[in-house]
Amino acid sequence: MTVTGRVVWITGLSGAGKTTVAKLVHASLKERGVATLHLDGDAMREALADPNYGFDRESRLRGARFYGRLARMCAEQGLVVVVSTISLFHEIHDWNREQLPGYLEVLIEASDSVRRSRDPKGLYKGLDQGSTASMGGVDLALELPISPHLRIANDGGPQDIPRVAGLILDSIDRTNGTAALSLQGTI
């Protein structure tokens, strides 16, 4: 398998399974001998350790722009960059499509009840207790991708993660480094 530098942008709401799936995609690519990097929104936030980087609209936009520029720089050096982030804004998705090499946009969806049951950061529990955290679809306008290359339902349990990751890996294999992807659809 020959894969040139590209960006696989995995997005969805909190609890949809973005990070879990991205970790498996990243590990699978490494096992195949592909030079890869995983950039996760929460890990990036922690690494930046910027006290001014909040959860408001402007902070989230600034962060998404940073992830995009960093992903582009790494992809231009031949890495397959797997990004897992909520990235709520159409302007980010548009910029990514224009600027990121071999861009593959993946929207992972899960029902509200499944996301709430997973609740990896306790955000839904906090909402139920009356707090808000600048959360997309709650107190921030929700702008999920309009036409993702892949739209994947992920309402299953941990046993379904390899299937979801496999769909992404299959798309990478089918597009194998092409700069513009024509694949679109719902799985």
Helix, strand, coil percentages (3-state) for the chain, rounded to 5, are: 45, 15, 40
Q: Which tokens go with 31?
A: 């096992």
8-state DSSP, 136:
B
Question: Which member of 28, 87, 113, 147 is catalytic?
Answer: 87
87 is an active site residue: yes
Contact yes or no for 80/68 (Cβ under 8 A): no
| SS3 assignment, position 13 | coil
Angle between helices 57-76 and 41-48 (to 10 degrees): 100
Task: Just list the catalytic residues.
Answer: 87
